[in-house]
Structures are given as structure tokens and as C-alpha cells.
Amino acid sequence: MRIRLIIPCYNEERRFPAEAFTRSLEELPDLFLLFVDDGSVDATADLLRTFCVEHPGRTELVVLDRNCGKAEAVRQGMLHAARQGGGFDYYGYFDADLAIPLNEAFLFFAFLQERRPVFILSGRVKLLGTTRIDRYLYRHLLGRVFATFVSWTLELAVYDTQCGAKLVRADMASTLFERPFQSRWLFDIELLYRCIALFGRAQVEEHVAEVPLRRLHDPGGSSVSFRHALRMPFELWRIRSAYSRAESGTK
């Protein structure tokens, strides 16, 4: 299983975990990394260039000329990866802080066994004696409330759309990421809408899968500000309206 992960980065100069990325590349020979600098105003791009020079053949850097938000950074990375090809089975995206270890991308398939879904979402589920999910209580509680609204919006039972680890089957990446997203931050929800549009509500669960994470360590801090959090209900409504109109137009 060959996997290429997109790592969106914005102003990561002081917190980029270079040693952890290096260790992952050493331990996971089928892992390849594509960093996307999202218009950072510090020395992130230079740091990433140096890292890629030190790890030739396994890493690459795309630099955006302005800050576009995580959604567009991931989209540009996905489209770049899809154009290049390279015989990968899956592309994915993980957060640069490595709160979720990169080996989780490969552990997903132990859970899925023989299934090869188009879109794989990870879920932050704390299971006694099985998973190690270290997360602030207030984030967990807010996340459960938000997930309830998301399930209502999608009309689809989903546990966790905002966990920062996703995989997309390589042959479907161009289709799912062709169009820009409505939201800078809630694009994972839009990907689910796109899967519904492609496969239909009745069959979407055959092509989309949620997998529990084995490990997560919440480092604290977030690139999503309190102001952005307050806007999320409006963003959900806007996404629902846009995709509902599109769904109605295809009937």
C-alpha cells in the first residue's frame, strides 16, 4: 500500500516537528509526503525546502503565493499529486503538528480488511483498553455537539468529520477535488456531500468509511480561532444550501 500524504502548513517555523517526520519516513518505506506551504509569512517555506532536500525522492514542496486556508491548500496538494501520478494507492492529508501519528494512515487498513473505500475518515473515539485518545474535555464536548449538527446537515450518521486525518483513493482524487470548496475549514463535510452526489445516498456507505484512530495527542492551540468557531453554524447552513441546490438540480 503506497500512500502520499498532503501536509498543509501555515507559519510552522517554530513548531514544525522535523524529527518526527524524519522518523516516520524511516519507519514507513511506502509513505511519501507532499508539503503545501499556505502563504506563510515566516520562514516555513525555507524550512520545508531544507527538509525536502534532506529527504529526496520521498518528499516534495508546493508553495502557494498567498494564504488560502486549509481547504484550498489541501485541494492544490491533491491536484498536484493526482497530476503527477506515481502509482499510489491512496492520497491523504494529515495536520502538520502530528497530533495524529503518520503510521495511522496504514493502520486504517487493518480495520478495513479487504475494503478499499473512496473516502476514509478517521474518528477520535476513546475505547477502553483499545485506543489512546488524549484530548481536552471541552474540545470533546464541543466536538460532539458539532457532530450532531453535521449529521443533521448531511442527513447521514457520521461520528467525526473534523479529525485531521483523511485518505482518498488515488483514482478518485481529481474528481473529488476538482472544484474549489465553499468553506476554508469545513471542506471535509463538502467531500461527503460530493460522495453523496457521486454514489447516491443509498450507496454512499459502500464507498465511505469511518475508522477509529489508535492514537491521538492533543497538543493544544488551534489555527481555528474563536471567531471562526462562532461562524461554523453559518458555514454549515451555507454548505447545506449550496449542495442541496446542486442535488435538486440533478434530479
Q: Which of 13-22, 119-128, 130-139 has maximum average pLDDT?
A: 13-22
Predicted pLDDT of residue 83:
97
Q: What is the pTM of this model?
A: 0.86
Q: For residues 199-217, b (16+ Cβ closer than 10 Å) or e, as one string?
A: beeeebeebbbbbbbbebe
Predicted pLDDT of residue 124:
66
- Beta bridge partners, 179, equal none
Query: 3-249: which CATH architecture?
Result: Alpha-Beta Complex (3.90)
Q: Per residue in 64-111, pLDDT tens?
A: 999 999 999 999 999 999 999 999 999 999 999 998 899 999 988 888
Percent pLDDT > 90 in the chain is 58
Residue type, 67: N
Residue 196 host element (H or E): helix 187-199
Q: Where are the domains of the chain?
A: 3-249
Q: Per residue in 19-58, pLDDT tens?
A: 999 999 999 999 999 999 999 999 999 999 999 999 999 9
**Ramachandran area for residue 28 (φ above 0: left; ψ -120 to 50: alpha; else beta):** beta
Cα 29 to chain center, whole Å?
A: 21
Cα 237 to chain center, whole Å?
A: 21
